[in-house]
Structure 1
Amino acid sequence: MKTRLELSSSISTISMSEIEEQTNNKISSRRNSIFNPDYCKELYAISNNNITDEPCVDDVQLFPKNHSLASLNEKPPKDKWKALLIILLIQGLATTLPWNMFINAQSYFQDYKLMTTSNSTDMERHYQSSFMSYVTICSMIPSVLLSAINVFITKSKMASPMRMIVAKLVIIILLSVTIALAAINTSEYVVTFFIVTMVIIVFTNGASAIYSNSLFGICSILPSRFITTVIYGTNSAGVLTSISSIISIAISPNAKTSALFYFSSAIFIVIIALITNTIFQRLPLYVHCTNNIKSKPDKPEKQSPRPQFWKIFKKIWSVCFNIWLTFTITIVNFPNVVSQVKRKTIPIDDSYWTPVFCFLNFNVFNLMGSLPVHWTVWPGPKRMWIVVLIRTLILGPFFILNNYLPDERVMPAYLANDYGFIFAVSILGFTNAYLMNCYFIYTPSLLDEDDVGVGGMIVNIFLFLGILSGGLIAFVTHPLVKYSW
């Protein structure tokens, strides 16, 4: 905390009326900002000639630590026409679109390209039945590794936008190869097609990981509404692909046509994201935020040009653990288990049951889960683990006790109810998105201002670790229900 003399000097050019006006502006915009509310205390203390070290918020600080009082003189430029918000929404959409395309094209892969016959080998049957689990593993191993590499090769306080451009070019090329494979008859080369597809998934999701990791690192230096916008974009990708799947079934049930539609749409969105990548770097608000970070001098203990990763991690380890467990439980169940739960009583064609009540249901509520953080963020980071634990204990075992693999299971389906299943999928999607938003909003409040970029990338690594853990555990669910308990 600054001494009274230093504080008095720093505001010597500001009249008390200006201080009051600027303070009121800060308080009124608190919902959409991440500035340190300790300013309220400092200004109050100045006006009462009483400097104190006590914080004005006991639980959650909505802004990074150590934000200087002098920044009250700097008025950030407005986001004209909401250009930065719109572009970051598109960027978020493009980060998860490839992943959503692969999991929503489940019918294309399992029922068309990997379709088994009486002459199929045991290996081909295994690849066909466990395809979604392999997709998850091949997606998340490179995602975790490349996200970690992307963080540790970062030598500055911010992520590199150039890495996002390279990653998007790789994604476009690989999705083009996937479209070419859809047009080729691979019925005689099922195992070869499976291996090639997994290789494409590895490199596509590795590039997506670098893209996503860099994007969250960049957004961590912006006000919190931009982080939630990116997450809103990532969740919108699932809704877009689910609707595309349902429309393609209604128009043409041909799996090949659906796949061409899926992957062409993905390429189109990624190209738009590529074009807008260089635009947002020139917008005044983004330039203002990056200049603030670059111009801020290092503290004496931070003279090293590289970020101090371990010290940053120790400040946010609880957030990292919670996001890991949240996504582990989500991916254990979705899409591997949820997509193989069959209806019992609801009168709907089987071809629409999974696309509507599994994928669309989850993705719509996953999108809706991003909305409440605009009004409230609850609970605080110190008590978030309680919510995560309750979610784990309830939703963790629920879906394998539902009507999952009814033709193969030996374990009784104690919770087999269509309406209970639909409600649980909705809760799974809603809580996944809401908690994810909370984690990325809390992270800047736990770090010094010049560490938030690297901190955002570290949290994103644990997000991918959670998805990887969930994919690995999902391999156990199939044999688990075949065992008589």
Structure 2
Amino acid sequence: MYNEKKSPPADRGQAVAIIIFVLGLGTLLPWNFFMTASQYFNQRLTVPNNTVNGTSGGPTKDYNYDSWMALLSQLPLLLFTLLNSFLYQWVGVRLRVAFSLIAILLLFSITAALVQVPMEPDTFFSVTMATIWFINMFSAVLQGSLFGVAGLFPARYSTLFMSGQGLAGIFAALAMLLSILSNAEKSSAAMGYFITPCVATLGTLVCYLLLPNLEFARFYMNRSQSVSEELSGELISSTVTNNDKALKANVKFIPPKEDQERSSVLAVFKKIWLMALCVTCVFAVTLSVFPVITVRVQTVYKDSASWDKVFTCVCCFIVFNALDLVGRATPSLVQRPSKKSLLFPVAVVSRLVFIPLLMVCNVQNSKRILFSHDLAFVIIMALFAFSNGYLATLCMAYAPQLVRTKDCETAGSLMSFFLVLGLALGASFSFLLGQLINMADAHRVAAQGRKAVPFRGHITGGMHPGKKVVVVGVVDSRPDRFYVALTRGCGTNEPPPDVALELCVRFRDRQVLRRACVSGSWGDVDRAVPFFPFIREQPFKIEIHCEHSRFRVFVDGQKLFDFSHRLTSLSDVDTLWIKGSLTITKLA
């Protein structure tokens, strides 16, 4: 046989292993960076469209960017991953991979260039949605093809490929953390996001082009062709010999053909169906709660503004991606349960327990909380992430071992399709879980009753350093403006003469104005803000933190502005005023 005549060469300097790892990194890194720029896209879509005469067109339009992004990323990913399972029969893998990487590079280059190009929101939305569709279309072909390539190598290399994909999530999570901690201008941050995956994609293309030049890679990538040629030679020789014998015995001989050709897609699926269903289940469970449920978990240390600001990024995204990476790397050391063990599908199905466990953590406004402490959430997230990476990697490594060498690429492409199918099913189920939580919130709000606007309420103990006022509400469908003010005394129909801070959100020209009034005299108006965070018919959360020398104001966890104290007697600031185009759902 072939393996007896020639043993595989050594992977010198682990060069092939490094390239396979980089290829895994390159398949997911671009899209992860695209997702972390969600705030940039939402910000650009909140700019009012201009009318024919060039004036503002009124209230901003709600584009539901995040929902459309989820839909238009999963749909082409699913469709073209399935297509790739059949495409390999007509289009070579080198052409598929190279063309997909070049297309992704061009799409991200265009996206980076558009950062500095002013566009109408309607046009920008259409361009962005088209970009999302095509990026995921080419990513589907790329990922399926590279899974097939990784399947040609020993199982350790499939593990390395999956580990590279896990590291892409780490990079994206760290980018998100740096964005939160920095005060960089939003467009500059977006430009950095989009240039980084351009460089990464170019590096991935170079690595893939280098791969066939390495002896170790050539051995495995050409092995199926060599095996086929050798089998054909052996069959010809065997046919001649057997035909001679048949002529002597006057018996008809038909040479075997089943080993000369690749198996059909259906035949390969019949061998790997269990692994395919397992990888689907793993990712369906993961995407059903991550991130739609996990991002709603809050810290119990709400008084710590700095920790509250980074809690979701650290405990949700960084913990998940770090432990997922560890899980993906572990199969290179140990692979238990084995591919033939009944415990393997049992372990996969047992991950369903994480869905209720995460839903009873400290989810915002939930009444069913069993694990309120931050540490409990981190432990559950760590186990959830590790099992995701470990079991998914085992599935992808086991599948090629269940088929013949020449069918490994087909098996890898099929597994890629079922992986994406799991993502799509999980994303769909996440909408259901999200709606359940939203319905629970709606019932809670209805039971408690919404605060009437205009609102005037007492601040117990007045303001002092360390005190925080929280206003949670929803912008009206046709907003003009709304006010939030901290005053000394309750006044009558209007705020009293002493106003420590008046915040005016004006939608017509997208302004956030701040001023103070001392003894009936209004001071100068502060206008500068890094972004305009309010969208019609969308919820918001304003946090006013009182510090020794200033008020620091956050909206939806992002710092909006600082306002130096004009009134020196903070303890006398004891009234909260709210009025205008909003509905109040919670005060704290």
TM range (shorter): 0.7 to 0.9
Q: Distance in 2 between matches of 1:272 and 1:291?
A: 24
Instruction: Please tell me the residue identity of whatever aligns with 2:64.
Output: Y
**1:375 partner amino acid:** L
CA displacement at 1:396 relative to structure 2: 1.8
1:127 aligns with 2:68: no
**CA offsets 1:45-102 (integer angstroms, 9 cap, x no match):** xxxxxxxxxxxxxxxxxxxxxxx5x513422111122211111211111100122112
Which amino acid is the alignment partner of residue 280 of structure 2?
Answer: W
1:103 aligns with 2:63: no
- Structure 1 residue 397: Cα displacement: 2.8
Q: Residue 88 of structure 2 is aligned with which of 138, 154, 169?
A: 154
**Pairing of 1:438-477 with structure 2 (within 5 A):** 438-477=394-433
Whole-Å Cα distance in 2 between the matches of residues 399 and 309 of structure 1? 38
Distance 1:380 1:159, change over 3 A: farther
Q: Whose relative contact order is higher, 1 or 2, with alpha carbons under 8 Å and at least 6 apart?
A: 1
Residue of structure 1 in register with 2:78 after alignment = 144
Which position in structure 2 is the counterpart of 1:86? 18
| Equivalent residues of 1:328, 1:469 under 8 A apart | yes
Q: Which runs of 5+ in 1 are unaligned?
A: 1-67
**Is the 8 Å Cα contact of residues 288 and 426 (structure 2) preserved in structure 1?**
yes
Q: What residue identity is the alignment partner of 1:353?
A: F
Cα distance between partner residues in 2 of 1:127 and 1:367? 31
Provide the secondary structure at the position in 1 that maps to 2:102: helix
| 8 Å contact from structure 1 (residues 400, 477) kept in 2 | no
Q: CA offset at residue 239 of structure 1?
A: 0.9
Change (3 A) 1:97 1:430: same
CA contact (8 A) 1:154 1:306 kept: no
Q: Contact conserved, 1:155 with 1:305, CA < 8 A, in 2?
A: no
Residue equivalent to 2:553: none
Task: Please say if 1:252 is aligned against 2:175.
Answer: no
Q: Equivalent of 2:114, from 181, 200, 209?
A: 181
Higher strand share: 2
Asked if the contact 1:108/1:255 (under 8 Å) is kept, the reply is yes
Q: Which moved more, 1:470-479 or 1:322-331?
A: 470-479
For the residue of structure 1 that corresponds to 2:222, the secondary structure is helix
What is the Cα deviation at residue 230 of structure 1? 1.1
In 1, Cα distance between equivalents of 2:142 and 2:5: 34
CA contact (8 A) 1:339 1:358 kept: yes
Deviations 1:224-259 (A, max 9, x none): 221111111111111112222323333334332222
Which of 250, 253, 273 is equivalent to 2:204? 273
d(CA) in 2 for partners of 1:182 and 1:470? 32
1:332 & 1:200 partners in 2: Cα distance?
25
* Mapped partners of 1:338, 1:445: distance in 2: 35
Of 311, 322, 330, 1:364 maps to 322
Q: Going by fraction, where is helix more abundant, 1 or 2?
A: 1
Cα offset, 1:223, TM superposition: 1.2
Q: Structure 1 pair 116/350, CA: closer, same or farther in 2 (3 Å)?
A: farther
Are the counterparts in 1 of residues 30 and 201 from structure 2 also a CA contact under 8 Å? Answer: no
Q: For 1:425 and 1:328, how far apart are their aligned partners in 2?
A: 16
Which residue does 2:195 correspond to in 1? 264
SS in 1 for 2:64: helix
Q: CA separation of 1:478/1:370 partners in 2, compared to 1, >3 Å: closer, same or farther?
A: closer
Aligned to 2:354: 395
Whole-angstrom CA distance in 2 between matches of 1:398 and 1:107: 29
Tell me how far apart the structure 1 counterparts of residues 29 and 394 of structure 2 sit (CA, whole Å).
22
Using structure 2 for the length normalisation, give the TM-score: 0.64
- Measured after TM superposition, the shift of residue 323 of structure 1 is 0.5
Shift of 1:333: 1.9
* 1:414 Cα deviation from its structure 2 partner: 4.6
Q: Is the 8 A contact 1:357 1:422 kept in 2?
A: yes
Is the Cα contact below 8 Å between 1:325 and 1:388 reproduced in 2? yes
Contact persistence 1:245–1:258 (CA under 8 A): no
Structure 2 residue aligned with 1:291: 222
* Counterpart residue type for residue 86 of structure 1: I
1:340 to 293, 296, 306: 296
**Residues of 2 paired with 1:87 and 1:375: CA distance?**
20
TM score, norm. by length of structure 1: 0.77
Q: AA paired with 1:127?
A: N
* Structure 1 residues 431 and 120: alpha-carbon distance in aligned structure 2, compared to 1, 3 A threshold: farther
CA-CA distance at 1:270 after TM superposition: 0.5
> Between the two proteins, what is the percent identity of the paired residues?
27
Decide which of 354, 363, 379 is 1:423's aligned counterpart. Answer: 379
Q: State how far apart, in whole Å, the 2-side matches of 1:95 and 1:322 are.
A: 22
Question: Any conservation in 2 of the 1:312–1:455 contact (CA below 8 Å)?
Answer: yes
Count matched residues. Answer: 404
SS in 1 for 2:177: helix
Q: Distance in 2 between matches of 1:306 and 1:447?
A: 11
Asked if the contact 2:292/2:434 (under 8 Å) is kept, the reply is no
How has the CA–CA distance of structure 1 residues 192 and 340 changed in structure 2, closer, same or farther, with 3 Å as cutoff?
farther
Kindly provide the amino acid, as one letter, of the partner of residue 264 in structure 1.
I
User: Given residue 199 of structure 1, which amino acid in structure 2 is its aligned partner?
Assistant: A
1:329 aligns with 2:301: no
| Aligned-partner SS, 1:482 | helix
1:384-417 CA distance string (max 9 Å, x none)? 211111111x1123333334443xx6x6445443
> In the aligned structure 2, how far is the partner of 1:338 from the partner of 1:78?
44
SS at match of 1:335: coil
C-alpha change, 1:303 and 1:74, in structure 2 (3 Å) is closer
User: CA separation in 2, counterparts of 1:279 and 1:108?
Assistant: 36
Deviations 1:192-249 (A, max 9, x none): 4333322211111111111111111011111122111111111111111222232333
Q: Secondary structure of the equivalent of 1:76?
A: coil
For the residue of structure 2 that corresponds to 1:371, the secondary structure is helix
1:173-206 Cα deviation digits (max 9, x unpaired): 11122223322345x52x5433332221111111
Cα distance between partner residues in 2 of 1:360 and 1:151: 33
8 Å CA contact 1:249–1:258 kept in 2: the answer is no
Q: Please report how far the alpha carbon of residue 143 of structure 1 lies from its aligned counterpart in structure 2 after TM superposition.
A: 1.3
CA RMSD of aligned residues (A): 2.6
User: Deviation at 1:340?
Assistant: 3.4
Aligned partner letter, 2:161: V
Q: 2-side partners of 1:414 and 1:329: how far apart?
A: 21
1:241, 1:262 within 8 Å by CA — same for their partners in 2? no
- Cα 1:430/1:243, change in 2 over 3 Å: same
How far does the alpha carbon of each residue in 1:84-127 deviate from its partner, in whole angstroms, 9 at most, with x for none? 111121111110012211222233334x234599x656x61x60
The aligned counterpart of 2:566 is none
